[in-house]
Amino acid sequence: MEQALDGGGWFAGERFTAADIQMSFPVEAVAVRTDLRGHPNLRGFLERIHARPAYHRALEQGGPFAVATG
């Protein structure tokens, strides 16, 4: 996944697509378990996802996103 995001794009290329929404769930799960220090592309991906206005609207409508850790 780290290599797929090389260059700062999205999973399916230069444009945000539904693939990025799907892939955000496993990346969020990994981020809960590690700080992603060794994975700058994944960290940047999450930062881009979290910066999207649609992400903020989804949180407003559905509440906080939480990943089970146990």
* DSSP one-letter string for the chain: -TGGGTTS-BTTBSS--HHHHHHHHHHHHHHHHS--TT-HHHHHHHHHHHHSHHHHHHHHHH--------
Give the model confidence (pLDDT) of 12-51 as tens digits.
988 999 999 999 999 999 999 988 999 999 999 999 999 9
In a domain? residue 68 = no
Confidence (pLDDT) at 17? 96
- Across the range 53-70, mean pLDDT stands at 86
Q: Which residue segment(s) compose the domain that 32 sits in?
A: 3-62
Sole residue written with tokens 């290599």:
3
In a domain? residue 26 = yes
Confidence (pLDDT) at 7? 78
Q: How far is CA 54 from CA 3, 24, 43, 49, in A?
A: 26, 13, 19, 9
Instruction: Report the CATH number that the domain containing residue 47 is assigned in CATH.
Output: 1.20.1050.10
pTM metric for this prediction: 0.87
Domain count, the chain: 1
Q: In the predicted model, is pLDDT for residue 70 greater than 80? A: no
